[in-house]
Chain A
């Protein structure tokens, strides 16, 4: 359906409008910040789905889905031990489409872990970490860790038995860090106690409780997504810059 905006508005918003000629097609990626992720040209080889399997792109799509569904979930969820579980129940029973929202957020989150790992495999098996892309591979490793961090911190938030004890297994590992954990080798000798070791830094307490919940929540909804957004920008920018995606590698 054509929208009849006055031409000056149209130019203000879209600058040039949709491309109409082949020459304008070629210019499109340079015309809009959103299309700017793409190069202007790409080799037919690179375009084949059987080369990349779209895994990086799908990971990013799922990241956007979790960001949108997560923002909506934040409206209902309170990171308080007394309310957290009840709020999740409410999402399933009283909030319109609340259960759907939570399901989509969860499955997209699981999906990211799968697609990110497969993306890493694809990049490895096509040798796409070789010069000049070494740094982008390392950025990718950072993003992989952030994905695990997001998955781990989000896992605790429903505050049910599965999430509580699943998280306990993870935080027990932190108590066992050599030198810095209360249960780790030499931790004792260095005066590490459950209320002063490296796990305490994450939990804010000797055990999983209200302080841990609010820390996991702020990591999950703000700190880690912010880091992810920064690293993603670098990652995409470097794909364009050193990828020579348009050229034969």
Chain B
């Protein structure tokens, strides 16, 4: 008996027992629908992440940090992440381009609106990467020295501009307040109309010979000098401003560890905002104090260390090669490709857990198949006896019942996949509705790739065939003499 005969005979038998076949298949249908829906969720989530990574080119993006995590690392313990380091990293084979993350606080004046924000100096080469190349409107900088800016749509909304296109060509005033050492020193001598000389006049010179008086005066005057310096340094800040033209608008979105600020300014253009002194940020002042460059402006500018450098590499080059080379130079790295490998592992466990739940449902359905097949064998003992008397071998009988259980499984699996697909579409539509309602970009939470359909068919039919093994073996063992005598 060949496979075609087996299929014809088996399907004929199943057609004869329509209700029983349909009810048994319904068990498989529900189990497979649950299995497919759950795995579809896992596949959908993974697909979304992969699409986002691909869209942004994150698989070829790597961040480099100083090893000790400090922006102002000591060269003796860990190499500096400065311009020189960028050049060295750029020369690694396979590295396409390298750009630093260089951010500072700014005031943005757009139309009638003034908002405090963060700006980022960025080399125009960075626009060759997918992270920066996708703009909602306009284009990237014409050069690193152009007086242009790219701003985020969120910032535009704060300025009551809802259509990105309309912002292109508009002027934006970027200003920074910088503190200078000069103003701090000046305030030591004159503060709030009172000069240092006026204060000195109030000191009783004769009493200075008394130890207690001397100590008190020295302490209070030293404190006063320090207060005057800090007041002068913090309050009398110089404002540096420039008017730039908006050349592009980008979507504000989180990109994991890739920090992108609301205002992006060409790298060289941005330097003038940083030449007047220290920015108003207390962190920046603290950094300058700890690095010993508070009073040495030139050192601060020339030896600028970056907290992060991003590199884009050739997709044909394995990320591990670049990673090993950069780490060999004494830096820490973060690679999205490595991160995605970890994510994939998590998804594998997630899928396995979901699949296991589906398999539990399927094992319950398989008991239905066993029951149906055993009933069928009991009813068809005489038929089995006849077939054996006609020359059927045990494997023919076994195959006949295995094909029947497999056919029940195939029927249930096919319908289950279709039903599972409907469930995922409905669930996806509901999820999208709520995402849109919450203002979250709507994504499809479910995916039904071909491999998932393949797995569902394999598992559904496989479990059904396995469920048919015991009944089939029982059918094969039927004694033809006893079966024919029953009649």
Do A and B pair up? The answer is no
Q: Point out residues on B near A: beta carbons under 8 Å.
A: none
